[in-house]
Chains A and B, each alone.
Chain A
Amino acid sequence: MIFIGEKINGTRSIIKDAIIERNSEYIKSIAVSQAESGADYIDINAGTDPDRETEDLLWLIDMVQSVVDTPICIDSSTPGAIKEAIKKVNKTPMINSINGDPKRLEDFLPFIKEKNCSVIALALDESKSGMPKTVEERLTVLESIFKATRKIGIDDDKIYIDPLIMSVATDQSAGIVAFDCIRQIHEAYPKAHITGGLSNISFGLPNRALINRTFLTLAVAAGMDSAVVNPSNTALIESLYATELLLGRDKFCRKYTVASKNGFTVKK
């Protein structure tokens, strides 16, 4: 399971305040706790106004890299900010994100190929309006994305597909659509990774953590192998250990038993 630590995101008000106040100690502490909890990548999203986003993003990268070696997942919807950030990172980063928009693909893919980055690909086409509703719409977009990445020579295993998980409170088929989607993507692109944030699914409902981790269990069974999460969330991690165990992916149950002794607090 590949974890992308989600906590350094300026759309959360506590992080936004830390960015504005340049509270480096707070940002560093969040980076360290995610790295110690086994994050494979640390997502960094400045989320501030466009006129200062690049500067804030670069500052955040500096802060994180000053305390951990974990690769960075550069999270922005501004191409210029991403390109500046790539120059700054010490390790090959992940880019969050591309989508089926042909202009965006044309702009980004040569860059991603050159830097050998991993990249999160959203199963939507920004140049066409709207969130995809069905599994078919998502697969159609992914087809055009993979056509483009393969053409330029990016390996499938560099691609982390985000199937776009919706809210079950507003659409009760959101869970089923996600699992169907994950299953079909996994079949069509077995080498590619499948990732995504978990918080959408539980939007507007009580006890969201319970819904999130139950969703993750079912999604992993369907073929999801990565997630954008808070890796320090012990309840989530322990249910993931149990899931892998029950799916027959844990020889002699060693990972589970060892993790259990450690209170499931550290992934690796």
Chain B
Amino acid sequence: MSIAEMLANLEDEAVMAEVKKQISDGVEPMKIFEACQEGMNIVGKKFQDGEYFVSDLMMSSAIFKDVSDVIKPLLGTEGEATIGKVVLGTVEGDIHDIGKDLVHAMLSAGNFEVIDVGIDAPVDAFVNALKENPDAKVLALSCLLTTCYDSLKATVEAVKEAGLTDVKIMIGGGPVDQSVVDFSGADTYGETAQDAVFIAKELM
């Protein structure tokens, strides 16, 4: 069985054993890393198809993190090369973390570098993170409470007022739909954690 298949089947010990074996066999680390990413894509698809559950998704991201910790140091400068940086957080007034954490896991597995400013994050936290990371071209905002749409809008406005006009903003969370995109002035929205990866790639 390939590494991708093992990861897709959530066989944590087998994945790690195979990764270590291939490293000692002299397989190119980048090849191994890509196999792991392929496995994560299969997991994401299984989740979308209803075959996998949230706990499976969490497990896959734990496996991916463990193998990344082993492989990344071997990648050298190549390992630094992510697709791009995303600043992520749940807007002020909202303390929901599960959706945001899933998006974080999926983006990391999709080879994005994620700057996570946490939950109930004030406007400034997002603006500062974007200023400190001028190469971050995507901002991902999570919001599950309808009562926090104002906070969502305030965050989008603050980012624009700060002159960060080339930053694309994607939003997500239970009740978020196109009307919330229109209300807040964000660029687009996603329905699932897996969506976040595709959308972030499009926005780059």
Q: Are B54 and A204 in contact (CB under 8 A)?
A: yes
Q: A167 and B98: CB pair below 8 A?
A: yes
Are B54 and A77 within 8 A (Cβ)?
no
* Interface flags, A93-134, vs B, CB<8A=1, else 0: 000000000000000000000000000000010100111000
Residues 159-190 (chain B) with a chain A CB within 8 angstroms: 174-175
Q: Would you list which residues of chain B between 107 and 144 have a CB under 8 Å from chain A?
A: 118-120
Q: Which residue of A lies closest to B174 (CB)?
A: A11
Which of A49, A129, A167 touches B118 (beta carbons < 8 Å)? A129
A10 CB contacts on chain B under 8 angstroms? 146
A189 partner residues in chain B, CB cutoff 8 A: none
Bits for B5-20, please: 1 = Cβ < 8 Å to A, else 0.
0000000000000000
* Interface pair B147/A50, CB less than 8 Å apart: yes
A205 touches B95 (CB 8 A): no
Residues on B with beta carbons closer than 8 Å to the beta carbon of A126:
95
A49 with B149, Cβ < 8 A, contacts A131-B97, A167-B98, A170-B98 known: yes
Q: Is the CB of A130 within 8 A of B146?
A: no
Interface centre among B101, B145, B150, B175 (most CB of A within 10 A): B175
Also in contact, A77 and B147, with CB within 8 A (given A129-B119, A130-B120)? yes
- Kindly state whether residue A206 has any CB partner on chain B within 8 Å: yes
How many chain-B residues does the 8 Å CB contact rule pick out?
19
Q: Judging by beta carbons under 8 Å apart, are A77 and B145 in contact?
A: yes
**Interface residue from B53, B145, B150 paired with A204 (Cβ < 8 Å):** B53
Q: How many residues of A contact B (CB 8 A)?
A: 22
Question: B55 is contacted by which of A47, A77, A130, A170 (Cβ under 8 Å)?
Answer: A170
Known A205-B53, A206-B53; contact A129-B95, beta-carbon cutoff 8 A: yes
Contact between B147 and A78 (Cβ–Cβ < 8 Å)? yes
A50 to B150, Cβ gap below 8 A?
Answer: yes
Q: Are A169 and B118 in contact (CB under 8 A)?
A: no
Residue of A nearest to B149 (CB): A49
- CA A123 – CA B53 in complex, angstroms? 28
User: Which residues 55-75 of B have a CB within 8 angstroms of A?
Assistant: 55, 57-58
Interface residue? A265 (CB, 8 A) = no
Of the listed residues B120, B147, B149, the one surrounded by the most CB atoms of chain A closer than 10 A to its CB is: B147
Measured between C-beta atoms, what is the minimum distance from A123 to chain B in Å?
Answer: 13
Task: Give the B-binding residues of A (Cβ under 8 A).
Answer: 10-11, 47-50, 53, 77-78, 124, 126, 129-131, 167-170, 203-206
Apart from A129-B118, A169-B53, A204-B53, what are 5 other A-B pairs with CB-CB below 8 Å? A11-B146, A167-B54, A169-B54, A204-B98, A206-B53
Q: List 10 A-B contacts (CB under 8 A).
A: A50-B147, A50-B149, A77-B147, A78-B147, A129-B118, A169-B55, A170-B98, A203-B54, A204-B98, A205-B55
Nearest 8 interchain pairs by C-beta: A204-B54, A169-B55, A169-B54, A129-B120, A77-B147, A205-B53, A170-B98, A131-B95
